[in-house]
Amino acid sequence: MANVSFTNVRKSFGDFTALESLDLEIHDGEFVALLGPSGCGKSTTLRMLAGLEFPTSGDISIGGRVVNDLAPGKRDIAMVFQSYALYPHMTVGENIAYPLKKRGLKKPERDEAVRRAAELLQLEPLLNRKPKQLSGGQQQRVALGRALVREPRVFLLDEPLSNLDAKLRSYMRAELIELHRRLGKTMVYVTHDQLEAMTMADRIVVMHGGRVQQFDTPDAVYNRPANRFVAGFIGTPPMNQIEGTVQGATFVVNSHRQPIKREAFAASLVDGPAVMGVRPEFVGIHDSGDGLPATVRLAENTGHETIVTLELPDGARIMSRVEAGRKLSVGQPVILRFDPAGIHLFEATENGARL
Ligand code: ATP
């Protein structure tokens, strides 16, 4: 079993606390993405799991065994870095075989392990090349191959796709999903790219300011964000957050009374100031009728949809996602109506827990 747990882990660098009270339970065989903006603590979390940093307090365990004091080489993990860190003077085959050579395996065994990894990653024709004779995607696969031959219990990946161009990234995303499916190994993957996290991970740890904001499936972080940070971080464009007041079964904003399904929200929902979250796909744009008056500021046709920026009379901006080719001109007055099925309510506090 290669489940991974962080129990009440704190990490400080001098006076600065990079991670506060981190609790995570990652299941055996799970693909978990650590996602968050720069500086949120995701690399520090991964580096502690790898044994490259040590927790200030708390416990980290792999397969039920506390590894706090275990050297990186003894943790049965393999890490793939953003930079790939291939040895330039060695061939592809030698790079992949290197961890096994260090472990003292004989040449026939090494060759067999390299052959299997090369087959899995389709690197067979490249085994005699040097890293500089490879494309970024091929180098990436060599780095993965070097991790694979070690047959670790847990794979740690630190932004492994960030040096690749958009097309190769999307190809490698599919490759990694397939690799995880075939190997069934626990994988912990650091990224600041929500698309990578959403498309690859079984569950996502959304981090911000050294704290876990939500740890859940891609579906849940998108459709049931735990707080305003998650709502504003996940989705392109992200969820709109509109300030107003809850009054009975309505949310009042600029004297528009938006019906809400009050029974759909937690009992803690009370009348008073709140923030309504609504994803752009639930913001309907109409010419007339009941709704929130707004002005079109920008309409961007991406080919398969139109992303519209709208402005309310108080200057607040709202994004809408409508069908491609919808005719809207800048300055045009419109009426917005929100689909009650897509409405979220958050506390009107800085962090805004979900109500
Ligand atoms: P990025 O996406 O930019 O890599 P991150 O989420 O991975 O960001 P970390 O590298 O984990 O963030 O860093 C978390 C915080 O800890 C940051 O504020 C960073 O400046 C700080 N930090 C990291 N390593 C050290 C260190 N060795 N000494 C002091 N502060 C550090």
Cβ atoms of 206 and 214 within 8 Å: the answer is yes
Candidate from 15, 19, 43, 196 with most ligand 1 atoms within 8 A of CB, to mutate: 43
- Distance of CA 42 from the midpoint of ligand 1 (Å): 8
Distance of CA 280 from the midpoint of ligand 1 (Å):
32
**Averaged pLDDT for residues 313-332:** 94
Residue range 277-306: average pLDDT? 95
**Best CA proximity match to 203, nearest among 27, 38, 5, 47:** 27
pLDDT tens digits along 333-351: 999 999 988 999 999 988 8
Q: What is the pLDDT of residue 350?
A: 80
What are all long-range contacts of 131-139, with beta carbons under 8 Å and residues at least 24 apart?
131/84, 131/86, 131/87, 131/88, 131/90, 131/92, 131/95, 132/88, 134/92, 135/168, 136/163, 136/164, 136/165, 136/168, 137/164, 137/168, 137/171, 137/172, 139/84, 139/86
Alpha carbons 184 and 29: distance in angstroms, whole number = 5
Give the β-pairing of 65-66 and 57-62.
Answer: antiparallel
List pLDDT tens digits, range 164-219.
Answer: 788 888 888 998 899 899 889 999 999 999 999 999 999 999 999 999 999 999 99
Domains defined for the chain, CATH in brackets: 4-232 (3.40.50.300), 238-347 (2.40.50.140)
Q: How far is the CA of 294 from the centre of ligand 1 (A)?
A: 41
What is residue 92's predicted lDDT score, i.e. its pLDDT? 95
CA of 89 to the centre of ligand 1 (A): 31
The pair of three-digit structure tokens given for residue 206, joined into one six-digit string:
């959304």
Q: Is the CB–ligand 1 distance for residue 303 below 6 Å?
A: no
Ligand 1 nearest atom to the CA of residue 41, by list position: 11
Q: What is the mean pLDDT of residues 147-173?
A: 87
pLDDT digits (tens, 9 = 90+) for 75-100: 999 998 877 789 999 999 999 999 99
Which ligand 1 atom lies nearest to the CA of residue 45?
A: 11
Ligand 1 lined by 191 (C-beta under 6 Å): no
Using one digit for the tens of pLDDT, what is the confidence trace for 30-47? 999 999 999 999 999 999
Q: What are phi and psi of 129, to 5 degrees?
A: -85, 160
Max Cα distance, the chain (Å)? 78
Distance from Cα 118 to the centre of ligand 1, integer Å: 34
- E-strand stretches of the chain: 4-13, 16-26, 31-35, 57-62, 65-66, 77-80, 154-158, 186-191, 203-208, 211-216, 240-247, 250-253, 256-259, 272-278, 283-286, 292-301, 305-311, 317-323, 333-338, 343-347
Ligand 1 proximity of 180 Cβ (cutoff 6 Å) = no
- Residue among 332, 302, 301, 298 at smallest CA distance from 317: 298
Task: Reduce the DSSP state of residue 34 to 3 states and report it.
Answer: strand
137 band by pLDDT with thresholds 50, 70 and 90: confident
Give the N- to C-terminal CA distance of the chain in Å, as an integer: 37
Neighbours of 56 (CB within 10 A): 14
CB atoms within 10 A of CB 207: 26
State residue 172's pLDDT score: 84
